Chains A and B, each alone.
Chain A
Amino acid sequence: MKQDDIMVCRCEDVSLKELHQCLDEGYTTFEEVKRILRIGMGPCQGITCGLLVQREIAKYLNLPVHEVKTHQIRPLVTGVKLKTIVEGVKNES
C-alpha cells in the first residue's frame, strides 16, 4: 500500500506520506507535526491518531515508544454544541 493512501489522521485527512515529509523537515514532536499538518486538531482531538503518530516518531528517531511524548490534552473531552453550553449556564443560575 502506498504511503499516501494510508491515513494517519482521519479527521484532518493527513496521510502517512505527509507525516514522513514533515519528520524529514526536522519536526519530530507531536506538537510540531500537529501545527504544521493539523494532525490531531479535528473532532477526535488526537484520540485516534495520537498513538499512530507516537509510534511513527519513535520509529523515525529509533527510540522506544514510551520515550516519545504524547500530545497535550486540551478541553473539551468531547465536542459540545455552543447552544448546549448556553442552556447549561441558564439552568445553573
Chain B
Amino acid sequence: MKANVVIIGGGISGVAIAYNLAKKGMKDIVVFDDNYMTGGATGRCGAGVRQQWGTKGNCILAKMSVDFFERAQEELAYHRDIEFKQEGYLIIATNEEEDARFTKNVELQNSVGIPSRKLTKEEALEIVPHLNEKIFVSATYCPTDGHLNPFLMTDAYYHAAKRMGVLFFYHEKVIDIVVKNHKIEKVITEKREVKTSRVVNAAGGFAKEVGDMAGVDIPVYSENHQILVTEPTEKIQGPMVISFAKNIYCQQVPHGSFIMGRSDPNVEHNHDIKSTHQFLDEMAQTAVDILPPLGDLRVIRQWGGSYNCSPDRQPILGDTEQLEGYYLACGFSGHGFMFAPMTGLLLSEVILNEETTIDLAEFHINRFKRKSKTEYEHSVV
C-alpha cells in the first residue's frame, strides 16, 4: 500500500487534518487509529469551546476555530446535529490578582476580535443566578463561546473526509515508522505496511511515543484529567462556568446533563485514565460550593482522559527540523478539540507548502529552543 500522507491518530485533530488535505485535492490520505473513533482524548474531553485565553496565539486559534464551528454543520453536510450551542463561557475571578489578569486577558482577546467582556458580580449573577455570590469578585464572559458534541463533530469531519476518498483504519495500531537516510520510508501497522514520505503525528495522549518511533523528540507528556456527568435536568445554566483558582469547569449540555471536571496538581505524568474516589469527592465539594443547586443532581458516570501537555500549554503545530516529512499536531494541553478546525487548516497548509493563514512561529516546535520564550498559558483547568 502507498500513501501521500499517513496520519496517526483518528481523533478530532487527525480527521480535521485529513478533511482539509482532501479538500485541497490531495489523494491517497490514510488515517490509522488503534482504537474506535473518539476512543482517545477527543471522546473524553469536556465538550467546551472557548476563546477566552491568555496568550495571543491561543486566542487566534480559538477565534478562527469558532468561526468554522459556526458553519461546520453546513460545510461538512453532516446528517446529524453537531450540537453547537453558543451560550458563552463565564470565567469567575475569585481574587484581585485574577481580576487584574482577566482585565488584561479581555484586552488581548478584544484585540483579535473576540467579543469577551468584563462583568461585575451583579452582571454575572444575572447570567448564572445560581452562582454562589460569596466566592467571586468579578467575571469575564464571551457570548460566542459554548458547547459542541465531540463524538458527532469528529464523525462529521470523518464522513466528509471519507466522501472525498480518505481511507480510515480504526482499531489498527501503528507499530513502527521506518526512517532511512533521514527520510521517512514507510509506516508499519499490525496489519500492513504503507509506503509514504509523510507522517502526521496527531496521536493525542500518545504523541511522545509516536515521535519516538521516528526518532523525533517532542517535549510533551500526558496526564490524567477526570470528568463526571450528572443525570439530565431541566435547563438552568446557559454558559460554561470556569474558575481557575477553584479548579473547576462545569456546563450544562443541550441534552440536559451537567458535565464538570477539575485537575489534580499532583497527578503523575503517564497514560493512566482511571477514575478515582478522590476526584469524585473533590469535584462534588467544588461544584456544590460554587453552584449550590447542583447538589441535588445525581452523578451517573465518571471517566478520565489524557491531556497531552506542552511546556507552555500551547499546541505544537507544523513541521520539524528533526525529520523531513514529519509533521506535528500535539501538545494541546487539554484543548485539542476546540482548536481542531485551525489544526486541520494549518497542518494542511504546511504539508502542501502553502503560505499559512497565521504565523506559525509561536506554535512551531523550534520555539522551545529560544531563550527569550516567555509566553505561558495560565488559563487552563
Minimum CB distance partner of A30 in chain B: B36
Instruction: Given contact pairs A79-B231, A83-B295, A86-B295, enumerate 20 new A-B contacts (beta carbons under 8 Å).
Output: A32-B36, A36-B80, A41-B301, A42-B232, A43-B231, A45-B300, A74-B303, A76-B300, A76-B302, A79-B299, A79-B300, A80-B298, A80-B299, A81-B295, A82-B230, A82-B288, A82-B295, A82-B297, A85-B280, A89-B285
Instruction: List A contacts of B281 (CB < 8 A).
Output: 85, 88-89
Interface size class of A (residues with CB under 8 A): 20 to 34
Known: A81-B296, A83-B296. A31 touches B285 (CB 8 A): no
Contacts A/B (CB < 8 Å), 21 sampled: A32-B36, A32-B37, A36-B80, A36-B151, A36-B152, A41-B301, A42-B232, A45-B301, A74-B275, A75-B302, A76-B280, A76-B301, A79-B300, A80-B299, A82-B297, A82-B299, A83-B284, A85-B280, A85-B299, A88-B281, A89-B285
A74, B43: Cα distance in complex, Å: 15
Q: Are A35 and B38 in contact (CB-based, < 8 A)? A: yes
Contact with B along A66-93 (1 / 0, CB 8 A): 0000000011100111110110110000
Q: What residues of chain B have their CB less than 8 Å away from a CB belonging to chain A?
A: 36-39, 43, 80, 151-152, 155, 230-232, 255, 275, 280-281, 284-285, 287-288, 294-303
A27-49 interface code vs B (CB 8 A; 1 in, 0 out): 00101100110100111010000
B173 CB to closest chain A CB (Å) equals: 16
Closest 5 CB pairs of A and B: A83-B295, A79-B298, A85-B284, A35-B151, A82-B284
Contacts of B255 in A (CB 8 A): 38
B155 neighbours in A (Cβ, 8 Å): 36
Interface residues of B, dominant DSSP: mixed
**Chain B min CB distance to A60 (Å):** 16
Query: Which A residues are CB-close (under 8 A) to B297?
Result: 81-82
Instruction: Determine how close the nearest CB of chain B comes to the CB of A23; give it in whole angstroms.
Output: 14
CB neighbours of A83 from chain B (8 A): 284, 288, 295-296
* Distance A38 CA – B155 CA, assembled complex (angstroms): 14
Q: A8 to chain B: closest CB distance in Å?
A: 17
CA distance A79 to B297 in the complex (A): 9
Question: Do A43 and B298 have beta carbons less than 8 Å apart?
Answer: yes
A86 touches B300 (CB 8 A): no
Among B43, B232, B284, B297: residue with most chain A CB under 10 A: B284
A75 to B36, CA, bound (A): 21
Asked whether, in the complex, the Cβ of B288 is within 8 Å of the Cβ of A86, the reply is: yes
Contact B284 A75 (CB under 8 A): no
Which chain A residues lie closer than 8 Å to B300 at the CB level? 42-43, 45, 76, 79
Q: How far is the CB of A74 from chain B (nearest CB, A)?
A: 5
How far is A74 from B303 in the complex, measured between Cα atoms in Å?
Answer: 7
A41 contact set on B, CB distance < 8 A? 301
